């Protein structure tokens, strides 16, 4: 007689500094599928977890920025290769979340990651310049990464939207602290497992699950976060978030007020493949050099 086997429930952990710690608070919360069935327990990150993630990102960012642009492109392309190997798992997670066409969603997410990776050795040529000046000098504008970028992932597009917001700051040499979709965190956790087995250095990407109402204000106010992507910030929190970010003059990437996050078509390449989403997390450094005789 065969006994009915109980499935092992997934405990989704955080991803900080290349490791998978549980929340220091010991808290977790339930994740449900589109039918209301329990899927997993996700770690509920605390303020300390977020501070640990920022510290890990700050330590990893200089080394990531120091890599050649071509090498960053190679490393990010490797992530797409590993995502392809996890296709079935990503598709099931999107299906559980109620996606209409999980297969297409995963395909576009992988293709978009590759599209952004391809910009790693091109964006600096487009954004940089040799400037004419009225004097015996060379004058160059050189793009540099901003530093540590906080990303609040879209709530409804838990894989494709996440990839579309995570890849742009990585391409140019920034490190990222990412807050996942609160209700649909599992694709982000699977992506963190992909990143852990890729060539991306530990700490370059840090992924936290939890309540946005608890974590977003802390991320926005953290003085060691240099820039903030507020795309996935709930409308009710946007004003407070931007005011907190303004206290230490963070660079902001904002979702236009005319765009409804839940209705944005992430499958539309023309809408979501945007080099300017990379450029917004670049700082411009101008260098003067005398012309020799």
Domain boundaries, the chain: 47-290
Between 174 and 135, the more confident residue is: 174
Pick the CATH number of 47-290 from 3.10.20.740, 3.90.1150.10, 3.40.605.10, 3.40.50.300: 3.40.605.10
Q: Are 76 and 167 within 8 A, CB to CB? A: yes
Q: Can you tell me the mean pLDDT for 153-173?
A: 96
pLDDT at 49 over 90: yes
| CB contact set of 97 (below 8 Å; sequence gap of 6+) | 33, 34, 158, 184, 186, 187
Residue 2 confidence (pLDDT) above 70 = no
CA 91 and chain centroid, separation: 20
| CA atoms in the 13 A half-sphere facing the CB of 117 | 19
- Which pLDDT belongs to residue 89? 96
Tell me the C-alpha to C-alpha distance, in Å, between residue 5 and each of 11, 36, 38, 47: 18, 22, 17, 38
Say what the pTM is: 0.93
Rounded to the nearest 5°, which phi and psi values hold at 24? Answer: -65, -20
Q: Are 75 and 118 in contact (CB under 8 A)?
A: no
Q: What is the dihedral of CA 186, 153, 62, 218, to 10 degrees?
A: -100
Q: Which pLDDT value is given to residue 6?
A: 80
CB 208 within 8 A of CB 49: yes
Higher pLDDT, 255 or 168: 168
pLDDT per position as a tens digit, 188-216:
999 999 999 999 999 999 999 999 999 99
Q: How far apart are CA 160 and CA 217, in angstroms?
A: 25
Specify the DSSP element, H or E, that contains 282.
Answer: strand 282-290
Each residue of 260-290: pLDDT tens digit? Answer: 887 899 999 999 999 999 999 999 888 888 8
pLDDT digits 0-9 by tens, 102-141: 999 999 999 999 999 999 999 988 888 888 888 888 888 8
Residue 85 pLDDT exceeds 70:
yes
From 145, 209, 199, select the one nearest 177 (Cα to Cα): 209
């Amino acid at each position: 007689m065969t006994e009915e086997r109980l499935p092992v429930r997934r405990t989704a952990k955080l991803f900080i500094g290349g490791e998978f710690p549980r929340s220091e608070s010991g808290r977790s919360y339930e994740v449900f599928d589109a039918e209301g069935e329990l899927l997993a327990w996700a770690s509920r990150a605390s303020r300390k977890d977020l501070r640990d993630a920022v510290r890990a990102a700050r330590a990893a960012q200089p080394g990531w920025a120091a890599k050649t642009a071509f090498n960053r492109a190679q490393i990010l392309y490797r992530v797409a290769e590993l995502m392809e190997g996890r296709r079935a798992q990503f598709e099931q997670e999107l299906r559980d979340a109620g996606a209409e066409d999980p297969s297409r969603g995963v395909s576009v997410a992988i293709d978009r990651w590759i599209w952004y990776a391809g910009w790693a050795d091109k964006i600096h040529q487009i954004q940089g310049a040799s400037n004419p000046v009225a004097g015996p000098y060379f004058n160059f504008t050189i793009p540099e990464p901003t530093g540590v970028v906080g990303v609040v992932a879209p709530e409804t597009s838990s894989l494709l939207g996440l990839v579309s917001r995570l890849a742009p700051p990585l391409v140019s040499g920034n490190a990222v602290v990412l807050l996942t979709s609160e209700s649909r965190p599992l694709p982000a956790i699977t992506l963190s497992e992909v990143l852990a087995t890729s060539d991306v250095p530990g700490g370059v990407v840090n992924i936290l699950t939890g309540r946005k109402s608890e974590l977003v204000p802390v991320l926005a106010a953290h003085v060691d976060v240099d820039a903030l992507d507020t795309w996935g910030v709930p409308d009710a929190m946007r004003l407070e978030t931007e005011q907190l970010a303004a206290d230490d003059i963070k660079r902001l990437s904002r979702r236009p007020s005319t765009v409804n996050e839940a209705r944005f078509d992430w499958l539309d390449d023309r809408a979501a493949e945007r080099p300017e989403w990379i450029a917004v997390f670049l700082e411009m450094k101008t260098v003067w050099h005398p012309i020799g005789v």
